[in-house]
Amino acid sequence: MSVLHHTDLLVVGAGPAGYTAAIYAARASMKPILVTGMQPGGQLTITTDVENYPGFAEPIQGPWLMEQMRAQAEHVGTNIVYDLITEASLKNGQDADGYFHLKGDSGDEYRARTVVIATGAQAKWLGLEAETRLRTGGVSACATCDGFFYRGKTVAVVGGGNTAVEEALYLTHHAETVHLIHRRDTLRAERILQDRLLAHPKIKTHWNVAVNDIIGGGTPEVVQAVELKNTETGALSRIDVDGVFVAIGHHPNTGPFREQVACDADGYIITEAGGTQTSIPGVFAAGDVQDRIFRQAVTAAGTGCMAALEAERFISNIPAMTKT
Choosing from 8, 83, 108, 146, the catalytic residue is 146
Q: Among this protein's residues, is 146 annotated catalytic?
A: yes
Q: Among this protein's residues, is 263 annotated catalytic?
A: no
- Whole-Å CA distances, 40 to 8, 35, 75, 118, 286: 22, 9, 17, 11, 16
3-state secondary structure of 157: strand
CB atoms within 10 A of CB 36: 22
Choosing from 145, 242, 263, 288, the catalytic residue is 145
**Contact criterion met (CB below 8 Å) for 246 and 127:** no
**Contact criterion met (CB below 8 Å) for 45 and 68:** no
CB atoms within 10 A of CB 28: 20
The residues, any chain, with a CB within 8 Å of residue 200's CB and separated by 6 or more, are 169, 172
Q: Per the omega criterion (within 30 degrees of 0), is the bond before 220 cis?
A: yes
Q: Among this protein's residues, is 266 annotated catalytic?
A: no
Residues annotated catalytic, as ranges? 142, 145-146
